[in-house]
Structure 1
Amino acid sequence: MKPFILTVLALSTSIYTYSQKTYPSAAIDQYVKEVIKINQIPGLAVGVIKDNQIVFQRYYGTENLENDKKVDSNSMFRIYSTSKLMTNVGVFQLIEKGQLSLEDKISKYLDNLPKEWQDIKVKNLITHSSGLPNLIAFNDILPDDSNAKVIERLSREKMDFKTGNQFSYNQTNYFLLTMIIEKITGQPFEQFILNNQFSDSKNQVIFSSNALEKIPNRVIKYNYNSEKKQYEKSTDVSGTRAHSANGIAITLPAFLKWSLHLSKGDFLNPKTKEMMWHPFDFSNKKDVFTYGWDISKVNNIASYNFSGGNVSAYKIYPQNNIAIIMMSNGYSLFSVQYRIINHIAAMLDKNLADDYSLAEETIISEFSKKNNPDAERIYHSLKAKNSKWNFENTLNDIGYTLLRNSRMDESIKVFVLNVKENPQSANAFDSLGEGYFYAKNYVLALENYKKSLALHPENTNAVNMIRKIEDAMEKK
């Protein structure tokens, strides 16, 4: 097969010759199949909306690995934290109706809160700026514990930071949002979301944060065991209180309908959506996040998005009237949810093409191929296109991913390339030292850790590893 770079570049450029109302279905399909093959993705669904029309809707692979049941329009993928988008829309539907305000203190709706929580506002929950302790960090909080018991347990912990200061992704925020929504509406959270966002597709959406629960047509998520070199079923169980944060399983047709309703203003009016997508003013003046959505920009064009479990993502480009959905059930090397979405967006509209990201995607794809002799050559050809591009972190991530997947020789080659490209990087030499250490080449491991320490004398990891290696060499 010809080098993947040619495929990527062809798909990225040929599309710009299409007329305004002609969409590159065949090219998108070819690209997605290539990504699936490289990353050994068991099952996947992709949907694309342009100008309020569904222009691409395809299904790939299998729902599970036990009976090879094919993914189709009835397959309900677990979207994990992408579920938060539906919760966010629900919150703003209540705001639009005047039943809730971002400035409301949560104590207005919730009783028996700790003193330190009294001044937290709704806006702090939805922007992850509350500073609350994260409930998933405590093993003694069980899935079936009552809300009161969870709050009592968390009340024994100190606040992580001053409310409003910074962004810190936290499931406690959505646990409390669930309670607030139920208090205001007088109905279960799940029923409120279904009635107000999925009235035309209720039978294609289900709430469950229990991977062990047997649900017809629900796609099984798999985690790749790099040591055994095989997929294993996910066994995560979060309980019903996690439904607002990670509980939705949904078909692609239902997700596409949801997106169309969002774009057309059926859920929220334009002013409310503008409020929802406005960046929150964190006190540290560093973090960037809207009211429940990640925000990203390409060529100064904003998009709003979220992902879940490294297997799903949704991104909407209001200015371009484009929305893209990606849902899968596992990957063996690199998570690809945003790579797929960003690449397809660039194929639909050249103004959404990020040349650096496309180059990075190609580099990752090439090194992902086993023993690919062209990978380094392609890397250099891409790097030569822009002298300002730096792929140090990308190469480092590739090296460690290959190392975790027992592709040691290939991993070391990537780490070697990285130190050649970044000879003043202590981290690059540290990583190469680790690669040689796992290969039991202690001489070269020691040499590279010492180089790392010389570049960064405060590198305590290098100090510890040098001592560990020297001890091991003395015992030989």
Structure 2
Amino acid sequence: MKVAALIAGLCLAFPVWAQHNTSASHDDLMALLQQRMAQQQIPALQVAVIEHGKVVELAALGTANVENGVPATNDSVFSINSCTKAFTGVAVMQLVEAGKIKLGDPIGLYLDDLPPAWRALTIRQLMTHTSGLPNIIDEQENLLGGENEALSWSKVKALPFEFAPGERYRYNQTGYVLIGKIIEKLSGESFVQFVENHQFKPAGLKHTRFGDSSDVVAHSAGAYTYSRNEGGKWLTGTRLAIAYVTFPAYFRPAAGILSTAGDIAQWLQALQGGKLLKDKASLQAMWSPYVLNNGTTQGPNDLLNGSALGWPVTVRGAHRAAGPIGGMRSAFFVYPEDALSVVVLTNLQGVNPELFIDDIAGLYVPAMHPSTGFGLPPEVLPLRTALLQRGFEQAPQVWAEFQARDAQALPGEEALNVWGYKLSSQQQLPQALAILRLNASVHPASWNAYDSLAEILEQAGDRQGAIANYGKSLALNAGNSHASERLRALQAR
């Protein structure tokens, strides 16, 4: 697709609002969230929903402090981690509106102490993770020089580019540290002061602040994890542990805000209501995906498949969203076409709430309800229709019929995998297993297909089935650390 057509078709504009489901109830939302919390063992969760500029839902569930059994309330304060980048995006657009900066400017106009190869990079490339800069954190997500800013800079400046600017997307913290330096130079304030003075205060945020695990924070919801990072890979176990994070001052443009779902909702109201940015065109610019050199877009995952100014975005035909994500624990989606926003904050790393925020939105926008198949890869929809009519137990027979008619139209391995996990997340385990068994049978050389099937078998309580399929996955890929870890855990029971 040509770049001009792509931008015209994918930018998050402001058309007529979609029809909402006015019967969406508190009970429906609570049931969905309680299901997710039980499935993913989430200690605490906060949610806020904004419709047509008004907060229509604000709730807290679970335990904010596990050690002392403190219940979560609407005043519980959660770390939003890299969702902070959305605030940095707003800060940059405020400077754009003030005429102090342009998104296409090379950063060499504003910073002197840069390697020569860095000087031509643009503000937009830094903010959309398309610069190719080496990362100031290592594979285990530790700053190269710890809290020593000078040491971190000396180490990262000595590293080569990871790819040519604009060639592809790769999540990168270096660009945001540089953006923070530019904001400080142009505003005459520290980054933290600039955001506090130009966003926190105008939006009237009472609970929001910068901080990390070293701070004493009133009503803190804490941070927990079942995961650990080994050699750059996230491994999931069964032991709940405290997640300790440090965000030095120089890293705060990338992460470090603590907040509540209510405050984030209030900030979104201020943002879309003209209190933080004067021109709606600024919002559209901030939420427009960067187009790579080859004319495509990329983002953090298959759902958030575009990258804008501090905001990952969904690039799809309808119900597009701008959705910051942070720490694999917090996310909020703005659906401009639907006059809807959803905020989900949790205190458990690895939850990835962005993966079920569309389901929450589906309670308010009928066309997005999971029963319509919304959010699934388009190529699975004909097969889905047939199986809904004939039963998921008929998956092998229906697949054979589709294959005989038009094998080229059949969904691929990844699409079937996405569908299987989606069914699992909706507590439709028999259907999920039918699709994942189908996927493994038609892709017998895929270690990932067996790994996914084993994971859902384990979730369904089929220990022997999980062991068998993790074994098949390892036979195809001896380096599959997830399968080896789960096998050890299952065989030890």
Q: TM-score, structure 2 length as denominator?
A: 0.72
Q: CA deviation at 1:214?
A: 2.6
What is the match of residue 332 of structure 2?
A: 314
Counterpart pick for 1:283 among 293, 297, 317: 293
Amino acid at match of 1:311: R
Q: What are the equivalent positions in structure 2 for 1:328-343 lying under 5 Å apart? A: 328-330=346-348, 335-343=351-359
Question: 249-258 or 131-140, which moves further after superposition?
Answer: 131-140
1:299-332 deviation digits (Å, cap 9, x = unpaired) = 523211121111111111111110110000116x
| Closer/same/farther in 2, CA of residues 344 and 109 from structure 1, 3 Å limit | same
| Closer/same/farther in 2, CA of residues 358 and 283 from structure 1, 3 Å limit | closer
What is the match of residue 351 of structure 1?
A: 367
Asked whether the equivalents of residues 165 and 284 of structure 1 are also in contact (C-alpha less than 8 Å), the reply is yes
User: Considering only aligned residues, what root-mean-square deviation do their CA atoms show, in Å?
Assistant: 4.0
Percent identity over the alignment? 23
CA distance in 2, matches of 1:284, 1:275: 20
Asked whether the equivalents of residues 433 and 449 of structure 1 are also in contact (C-alpha less than 8 Å), the reply is yes
Q: What are the equivalent positions in structure 2 for 1:208-357 lying under 5 Å apart? A: 208=211, 210-224=212-226, 229-268=238-277, 269-287=279-297, 288-297=306-315, 300-330=318-348, 335-353=351-369, 355-356=372-373
Asked whether the equivalents of residues 396 and 428 of structure 1 are also in contact (C-alpha less than 8 Å), the reply is no
- Name whichever structure is richer in helix by fraction: 1
Amino acid at match of 1:342: D
Query: SS where residue 244 of structure 1 aligns?
Result: coil
Query: SS where residue 59 of structure 1 aligns?
Result: strand
Asked whether the equivalents of residues 146 and 152 of structure 2 are also in contact (C-alpha less than 8 Å), the reply is no
Query: SS where residue 62 of structure 1 aligns?
Result: strand
CA distance in 2, matches of 1:309, 1:220: 13
CA distance in 2, matches of 1:137, 1:251: 29
Q: CA deviation at 1:229?
A: 2.8
Amino acid at match of 2:74: S
Q: What are the equivalent positions in structure 2 for 1:24-43 lying under 5 Å apart? A: 24-43=25-44
| Closer/same/farther in 2, CA of residues 170 and 359 from structure 1, 3 Å limit | closer
What is the match of residue 148 of structure 2?
A: 145
Q: What are the equivalent positions in structure 2 for 1:315-464 lying under 5 Å apart? A: 315-330=333-348, 335-353=351-369, 355-356=372-373, 380=393, 392-394=416-418, 418-428=436-446, 432=450, 448=472
Q: TM-score, structure 1 length as denominator?
A: 0.74
Asked whether the equivalents of residues 392 and 422 of structure 1 are also in contact (C-alpha less than 8 Å), the reply is no
CA distance in 2, matches of 1:94, 1:358: 35
Asked whether the equivalents of residues 76 and 204 of structure 1 are also in contact (C-alpha less than 8 Å), the reply is yes
Amino acid at match of 1:263: Q
Counterpart pick for 1:198 among 178, 187, 200: 200
Counterpart pick for 2:189 among 184, 187, 193: 187
CA distance in 1, matches of 2:420, 2:348: 22
Amino acid at match of 1:189: F
Amino acid at match of 1:256: A
Asked whether the equivalents of residues 376 and 419 of structure 2 are also in contact (C-alpha less than 8 Å), the reply is no
Query: SS where residue 58 of structure 1 aligns?
Result: strand
CA distance in 2, matches of 1:55, 1:342: 17
Q: CA deviation at 1:113?
A: 0.6
What is the match of residue 472 of structure 1?
A: none
| Closer/same/farther in 2, CA of residues 218 and 385 from structure 1, 3 Å limit | farther
CA distance in 2, matches of 1:337, 1:450: 29
CA distance in 2, matches of 1:80, 1:431: 32
Query: SS where residue 116 of structure 1 aligns?
Result: helix
Amino acid at match of 1:245: A
Amino acid at match of 2:291: D
Query: SS where residue 113 of structure 1 aligns?
Result: coil
Asked whether the equivalents of residues 298 and 352 of structure 1 are also in contact (C-alpha less than 8 Å), the reply is no
| Closer/same/farther in 2, CA of residues 419 and 291 from structure 1, 3 Å limit | same
| Closer/same/farther in 2, CA of residues 337 and 383 from structure 1, 3 Å limit | farther
Question: 181-190 or 274-283, which moves further after superposition?
Answer: 274-283
What is the match of residue 404 of structure 1?
A: none
Q: CA deviation at 1:114?
A: 0.6
Query: SS where residue 100 of structure 1 aligns?
Result: coil
What is the match of residue 372 of structure 1?
A: none
CA distance in 1, matches of 2:394, 2:67: 42
Query: SS where residue 301 of structure 1 aligns?
Result: coil
CA distance in 1, matches of 2:335, 2:23: 19
What is the match of residue 156 of structure 1?
A: 158
Query: SS where residue 198 of structure 1 aligns?
Result: helix
CA distance in 1, matches of 2:152, 2:78: 29
Query: SS where residue 32 of structure 2 aligns?
Result: helix
Asked whether the equivalents of residues 124 and 163 of structure 1 are also in contact (C-alpha less than 8 Å), the reply is yes
CA distance in 1, matches of 2:418, 2:102: 42
Asked whether the equivalents of residues 322 and 333 of structure 2 are also in contact (C-alpha less than 8 Å), the reply is yes
CA distance in 1, matches of 2:470, 2:248: 47
Asked whether the equivalents of residues 415 and 431 of structure 1 are also in contact (C-alpha less than 8 Å), the reply is no
1:254-303 deviation digits (Å, cap 9, x = unpaired) = 11110101121222211111111222221132333223322215652321
Amino acid at match of 1:193: V
Query: SS where residue 254 of structure 2 aligns?
Result: helix
Asked whether the equivalents of residues 311 and 335 of structure 1 are also in contact (C-alpha less than 8 Å), the reply is yes
Asked whether the equivalents of residues 130 and 164 of structure 1 are also in contact (C-alpha less than 8 Å), the reply is yes
CA distance in 1, matches of 2:223, 2:209: 15
CA distance in 2, matches of 1:433, 1:73: 38
CA distance in 2, matches of 1:449, 1:230: 24
CA distance in 1, matches of 2:117, 2:147: 25
CA distance in 2, matches of 1:124, 1:95: 15
| Closer/same/farther in 2, CA of residues 317 and 381 from structure 1, 3 Å limit | farther
CA distance in 2, matches of 1:19, 1:417: 31
Q: CA deviation at 1:93?
A: 0.7
